[in-house]
């Protein structure tokens, strides 16, 4: 004989059905104006598009990468063109011990921090290397170093109960390919880390966005065979600024990459392993 309609908590389903559905919690993005943003990997051409969009809406910015001279040049260009507050400094993702002091310097300069975008990444000479030392370099720059600094920012945002984190990963992280699987695995790991971080910080009103570009016209893709539908880095940067202010948690850029990757992910492994990708 069939027992009563109960769920695991022994509550009759009829009672649950009467309860109005709970509205999903909304974690809002940054508002334009006096909301300072840290850009890591600021010498990327995509960062230039991002910084320009933020400067146009009057947001104070801190630009950081290993190339301090280039950051200084970019900062002065933004100040002259847009009359905004722009700081710059040295940041090396591989030097984990420097990350907390670096964040302290950023906070001191900007006065407060409301958003961070990490574009830090490298393919290395061979993104599918089997040399463990070369692989370590790729994993350090694309994953470990990014997790370290974004983790420090996450703690800061968690304690102030607001903030936005945008992590730039890649569609390369959605499925391993023979041409770039070391780079792809580091990006894939970062996407998973960001997903967990989003889950942790959702109840603390901190927004976490995973930004996955397809091919973008930068030094990273220059002269690489097999690229197609290559997007403009300035437009990609503007899309990152948009992601800071609102929109979905996971952004494929351009949008068609969501469909392309859905198709690629659904190719059966027995077929995929024989493909030259």
Ligand X SMILES: NC(=O)c1ccc[n+]([C@@H]2O[C@H](COP(=O)([O-])OP(=O)(O)OC[C@H]3O[C@@H](n4cnc5c(N)ncnc54)[C@H](OP(=O)(O)O)[C@@H]3O)[C@@H](O)[C@H]2O)c1
Residues near ligand X (CB under 6 A) are: 41-46, 65-67, 91-94, 119-122, 141, 145, 168, 170, 213, 215-216, 218-221
Please state the closest distance from residue 90 (CB atom) to ligand X, in A.
9
Query: Is 27 or 153 the residue whose CB approaches ligand X more closely?
Result: 153
What strands, in cross-sheet order, belong to the sheet with 115-118?
86-90, 61-65, 37-40, 115-118, 163-168, 206-213, 250-253
Query: Is 55 or 119 the residue whose CB approaches ligand X more closely?
Result: 119
Q: % helix / strand / coil in the chain, to the nearest 5? A: 50, 15, 40
Give the span between the Cα atoms of 124 and 207, in whole angstroms: 30
- Give CA 104 to chain center in angstroms: 21
Give the span between the Cα atoms of 84 and 79, in whole angstroms: 5
Q: Are 29 and 246 in contact (CB under 8 A)?
A: yes
Query: Is 90 or 202 the residue whose CB approaches ligand X more closely?
Result: 90
Give the span between the Cα atoms of 250 and 58, in whole angstroms: 26
Please state the closest distance from residue 192 (CB atom) to ligand X, in A.
16
Please state the closest distance from residue 213 (CB atom) to ligand X, in A.
4
Q: Which residue is nearest to ligand X (CB)?
A: 121
Tokens representing residue 100 in the block: 């907390």
Buried b (16+ CB within 10 A) or exposed e, 149-187: bbebbbebbbeeebbbbbbbbbbbbbbbbebbbbbbbbb
Please state the closest distance from residue 168 (CB atom) to ligand X, in A.
5
Query: Is 27 or 140 the residue whose CB approaches ligand X more closely?
Result: 140
Query: Is 160 or 232 the residue whose CB approaches ligand X more closely?
Result: 232
Query: Is 6 or 131 the residue whose CB approaches ligand X more closely?
Result: 131
Please state the closest distance from residue 26 (CB atom) to ligand X, in A.
28
Please state the closest distance from residue 92 (CB atom) to ligand X, in A.
5
């Amino acid at each position: 004989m069939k027992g009563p309609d109960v769920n695991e908590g022994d509550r009759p389903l009829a009672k649950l059905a009467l309860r109005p559905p709970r509205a999903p919690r909304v974690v809002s993005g940054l508002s334009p104006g006096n909301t300072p943003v840290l850009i890591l990997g600021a010498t990327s051409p995509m960062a230039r598009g991002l910084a320009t969009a933020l400067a146009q809406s009057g947001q104070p910015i801190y630009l950081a990468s290993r190339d301090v001279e280039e950051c200084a040049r970019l900062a002065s260009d933004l100040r002259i063109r847009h009359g905004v507050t722009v700081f710059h400094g040295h940041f090396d993702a591989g030097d984990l011990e420097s990350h907390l002091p670096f964040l302290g310097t950023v906070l001191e300069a900007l006065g407060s921090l409301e958003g961070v975008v990490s574009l830090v990444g490298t393919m290395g000479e061979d993104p599918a290397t089997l040399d463990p030392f070369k692989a370590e370099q790729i994993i350090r720059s694309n994953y470990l170093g990014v997790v370290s600094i974004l983790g420090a920012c996450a703690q800061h945002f968690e304690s102030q109960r607001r903030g936005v984190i945008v992590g730039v990963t890649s569609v390369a992280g959605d499925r391993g390919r023979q041409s770039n699987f070391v780079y792809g695995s580091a990006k894939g790991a970062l996407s998973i880390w960001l997903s967990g971080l989003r889950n942790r910080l959702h109840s603390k009103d901190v927004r976490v966005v995973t930004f996955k570009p397809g091919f973008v016209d930068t030094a990273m893709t220059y002269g690489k065979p097999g690229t197609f539908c290559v997007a403009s880095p300035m437009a990609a940067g503007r899309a990152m600024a948009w992601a800071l202010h609102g929109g979905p948690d996971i952004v494929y850029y351009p949008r068609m990459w969501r469909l392309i990757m859905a198709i690629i992910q659904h190719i059966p492994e027995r077929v995929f392993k024989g493909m030259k990708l």
